[in-house]
Amino acid sequence: MNTIDTQQEPVASKAWRPRGFDELGIVLALILFLLIGALTNPYFLTFTNLAGVLQNITFLGFLCIGVGLTLMSGEIDISVGSTFGLCAVVTALVLKSDYGLAAAVLAGLAVGLACGLANGVLAQAIKVPAVVITLATLGIYRAIALALANGSPVGGLPENGLFFDWFGQGGIGQISYITILFIAVAVVSEIALRWTSSGYRLLAIGSNPRAAHLVGFKVERTRVLVLAFSGLMAGLSGVCSVAYLNTAGPTAGTGYELSVLAATIIGGVKLSGGRGSIVGVLLGLCVIGIIQNLIVLWGVSPNWTQGVAGLVLIAAMTLTWATNRKDRINH
């Protein structure tokens, strides 16, 4: 007769453990950085600057949603930056080939979905963690993007008022339509995570995959699907970047992996899976965006941006380790 490790918490209780404490800590951190910004630069709290911060984190935000859900399922996708760049290049090339806007958008989304699906299928087929596969595909997808674009940005795209002017540059007030789309995707993802059986299964699998398998959850299929969704989010972000920039660079998205992981971990997503929320991920993303904005306002060289993200990630991982150690001692 199969037994479940008694050292593990029951799937349901661990998967649905209250997340308010984690999010409260992130809110306090966010308030702290807002205060620092307000006290050190008079321009920081202006609506124009904050709207700019929101715009700057939007493309990264799509990736954070996909990677956040992947982490919650117990896997890690570090190929999203390369997938983002590849999808942007494919979208621009199809547009430039005069196949039409619908074909270009669908091509970008399809490539993202295919990249994520390939990551998931390979990881489950050869029984290795997805982080190993995505470490390999990070280089493969980037190489494909560089080859397709001949190593140069894809420009000279045909005029399209709907895609570039209305969607790419338009918005409500200073909030762009791309940002509004991102917020809508985030809301739907949070609702699906908190209030649907799919969200329950995802967190249960991340919490204790063995126990989840014993109660009948499809662990491998769920992880393949969530990795495919991560690729789709990278594809959507890549398509939106083409609309916003009217060009696509094959090196676009380089280094995004670090910022995405920093935002999700700061946002309370557990590295080992089973815990987290999209709200927390968005709060972590805002912290990263504010830090990057303050670097610019303070006149610090942008070369330090990735370094700061790395330091914040180390701090977040240290905090996660300390919290887990406290939990182990209490239990």
Query: What confidence tens digit (pLDDT) does each residue in 234-258 have?
Result: 999 999 999 999 999 999 999 899 8
Task: Give the tokens for residue 108.
Answer: 């970008």
Residue 325 has pLDDT above 80, yes or no: no
Q: How many independent structural domains does the chain possess? A: 1
- 278, part of any domain: yes
Please state, for a pLDDT cut of 70, what percent of the chain lies above it: 85
Identify the band that residue 324 occupies on the pLDDT scale cut at 50, 70 and 90: low
- 3, part of any domain: no
- 294, part of any domain: yes
Contacts 24+ apart (CB under 8 A), 319-328: 320/265, 320/270, 320/271
- 103, part of any domain: yes
Rounded to whole angstroms, the Cα distance separating 60 from 91 reads 18
- pLDDT value at position 157? 94
**By C-alpha distance, which of 110, 95, 69 is closest to 230?**
69
Q: What are phi and psi of 95, to 5 degrees?
A: -60, -45
Rounded to whole angstroms, the Cα distance separating 58 from 74 reads 25
- pLDDT value at position 20? 41
- 289, part of any domain: yes
Question: Any idea what the CATH number is for the domain that residue 223 is in?
Answer: 1.10.3470
What is the chain's Cα-based Rg?
20
Place of tokens 């199809």: 94
Say if CB 195 and CB 76 are below 8 A apart.
Answer: no
Rounded to whole angstroms, the Cα distance separating 261 from 131 reads 12
3-state secondary structure of 53: helix
128-177 residue pLDDT tens: 999 999 999 999 999 999 999 999 999 999 999 999 999 999 999 889 99
- 127, part of any domain: yes
Which segments of 130-185 are extended strands (E)? Answer: 171-172, 175-176
One DSSP character per residue, 76-98 reads: ----HHHHHHHHHHHHHHHHHTT
Residue 259 has pLDDT above 50, yes or no: yes
Q: Mean pLDDT over residues 15-28, rounded?
A: 57
Task: Give the tokens for residue 141.
Answer: 């997808």
Which segments of 137-184 are extended strands (E)? Answer: 171-172, 175-176
How far from each other are the two terminal CA atoms of the chain, in whole angstroms?
A: 27
- 241, part of any domain: yes
pLDDT, averaged across the chain: 87
Identify the band that residue 311 occupies on the pLDDT scale cut at 50, 70 and 90: confident
The β-bridge partners of 172 are 175
What domain range includes position 49?
18-330
- pLDDT value at position 329? 53
**By C-alpha distance, which of 56, 52, 78 is closest to 237?**
56
Residue 3 has pLDDT above 80, yes or no: no
Rounded to whole angstroms, the Cα distance separating 284 from 264 reads 6
Residue 21 has pLDDT above 50, yes or no: no
106-133 residue pLDDT tens: 999 999 999 999 999 999 999 999 999 9
Rounded to whole angstroms, the Cα distance separating 241 from 249 reads 10
- 12, part of any domain: no
